[in-house]
Amino acid sequence: MLRYLGLRIGQGLLTVFLTVSTVFLLVRLAPGDPAAAYAGPTATTEDLERVRAQFGLDQPLLAQYGVFLRNLVQGDLGTSYSFQAPALDVVLGRLPYTTTLATSAILLTTVVAVPLGVWMARRADTMRELAGNMVTIAGQSMPDFWSGIMLLTLFAVAVPILPASGFATWGGLVLPTVTIAILQVALISRLVRREMVAALGTPYLSVARSRGFGEGTLIWRYAMANSAIPVLTALGTRFAAMLNGVVVVEVVFSWPGVGSLVVRALETRDYPLIQATVLVTAALAIGVQLLVDLAYPLLDPRVRLGKVASS
C-alpha cells in the first residue's frame, strides 16, 4: 500500500517535471529570440539584456535549464510585461475563478449524470434509452464554444434573465457552468450506465435478488456501491481535466479565470505569463489527478485490505 503511494507520488512529480521541461524546451526551440519572447515586443535593448541575464539565455542549454529550475523553485516565473507584475502572482490571482467554475460544474454534473445514467441502465436497449443515448452523444459532440454562444444568446440576450459575462453576481456562474456540464454529463452518464449495466449483470446481484431485496435496494445499495468507485474516480479525473480545459468557456463568457488569461497572454505574446499559466494549471491538474489515483485504493476494500487468506 505504502509502496503504491510512493510510486504514484513519484510518477506525479515526474510528470510535473516533464511538463516544466517541455515548456522550457518549447520556448527555446521556437523560431525567434527567446529573450525577445520573454521581454515582449516593446522591449528596449536594456530590457533584453536584463532578461538574458535573468534567464541565463546566453549560456549553454544545460546551464539555462539549471537557471530555469532554480528560478522555478524560488517561485520566480518571470515578470508579465502586459500586467507589469510577477507572472506567478497574476496567475494565482485568477486561479480561484477557474476552480470555482470547475467545482460548480462538477457538482452539477454529478447531480444530473448519475440519475440519468441509472435511468439509462434500467432501460438498456429500449427505444427510450436509444433516445437518451443520442442525447448524450449529442452533448458529447457539441463544441463548447458553440454551446456557450447558443446558451448565451438564448438566456442572456434574447431572454435576458442571466448575465452574459463576468462574475459580477453569482448568477453569472450559471451559464458557463451549464455549458461545461453538457459535455461532462454526457461522458459521466454513459460511464454510469456502463457500470450499472455491468453491476446489474453480476452473479452477486442475482444472488441478492434471490434474497428478496426490492429493485430499489438492489440498484441503489448494491449496484450503486459497486459502480461508485469508478464513477467517483472518473469525476475526479474530469475535475482535473477541467482545470486547464475550460479555456474556451472562459473566453466565451469573459470569465476572469486562468483560461481566458492564457488566451490573452497568447494574443499579447506575453511568454512569462503563458509559461506561468501552463505550469500552474499543469501542476494543479496533475496534483488533483494524483489525489484521485491515491483515493482509489482507499475506496476499494479489495485493494485497501489486500488478500488475506483465512480458513
Partner 1 sequence: MSPLLDVEDLQVELITGAEIVRAVDGVSFTVRSGETVTLIGESGSGKSTTAMGILGLLPAGLAVLSGSARFCLPGGRAVDVVADPDAVRTVRGHGVSLVPQDPMTALSPVHPIGRQLGDALRLRQPGLSRAQVREHGVALLDQVHIPRAGTQWDAYPHQLSGGMLQRVLIAIALAGEPALLVADEPTSALDVTVQAGILDLLMELQERTGIGILLITHDLGVARLVSDRIHVMRHGRFVESGEVEQVVDAPREEYTRDLLAAVPALGEWDDAERNETEASA
Partner 2 sequence: MSAVLPSVERPSAVTPALRAAAPAVRRARTLRIKTWIGLVCTAVVVLPVVMASLLPLPGPDTQDLSARRLPPLTDGHLFGTDQLGRDLLSRVLHGGQVSLLVGLLAVLTSGLIGLALGALAGYLGGWVDGVASRLAEAQMALPLLMMLLLVVALFGSSVPVITAVIPLAQWPEVFRLTRSLVLVERGKPYIDAARVLGLHRITILYRHVLPNVVRPVSLVVLLLLAQAVLLESALSYLGAGPERPFATWGRIVSDGQDYVTTSWWIATLPGLVIVLLVVGVNLLGDGLRDRSRRPRTSGGKA
Residue 3 contacts partner 1 per CB under 8 A: no
Q: Which of partner 1, partner 2, none does residue 118 bind (CB under 5 to 8 Å by kind)? A: none
Contact call for residue 80 and partner 1 (CB under 8 A): no
Nearer to partner 1, 233 or 268 (CB): 233
Binding partner of residue 285 among partner 1, partner 2, none, CB cut-off 5 to 8 Å per kind: partner 2
Judged by CB under 8 A, the chain residues 80 through 139 that form the site for partner 2 are: 124-127, 129-130, 133-134, 137-138
Segment contacting partner 2 (CB under 8 A): 42-50, 209-217, 228-236, 264-272?
A: 264-272
49 binds, among partner 1, partner 2, none (CB under 5 to 8 A by kind): none
For residue 309, the minimal CB distance to partner 2 (Å) is 27
Residue 85, Cβ neighbours under 10 Å: how many? 13
Identify residues 196-225 at the interface with partner 1 (CB under 8 A): 201-213, 217, 221-222, 225
Q: Dump the DSSP string for the chain.
A: -HHHHHHHHHHHHHHHHHHHHHHHHHHHHSSS-HHHHHH-TT--HHHHHHHHHHHTTTS-HHHHHHHHHHHHHTT---EETTTTEEHHHHHHHHHHHHHHHHHHHHHHHHHHHHHHHHHHHHTTTSHHHHHHHHHHHHHHHS-HHHHHHHHHIIIIIIS--S--SSSSSGGGGHHHHHHHHHHHHHHHHHHHHHHHHHHHTSHHHHHHHHTT--HHHIIIIIIHHHHHHHHHHHHHHHHHHHHHHTHHHHHHTT--SHHHHHHHHHHTT-HHHHHHHHHHHHHHHHHHHHHHHHHHHHH-HHHHH------
- Count, residues near partner 2 per rule CB under 8 A: 57
- Residue 310 interacting partner from partner 2, partner 1, none (CB closer than 5 to 8 Å by kind): partner 1
8 binds partner 2, rule: CB under 8 A? no
Q: How far is the CB of 127 from partner 1 (least distance, A)?
A: 14
Where does this chain bind partner 2 (CB under 8 A)?
11-12, 14-15, 18-19, 22-23, 26-27, 29-31, 37, 124-127, 129-130, 133-134, 137-138, 140-146, 149-150, 152-153, 157-158, 243-245, 247-248, 251-252, 262-263, 266-267, 269, 274, 277-278, 281-282, 285-286, 289
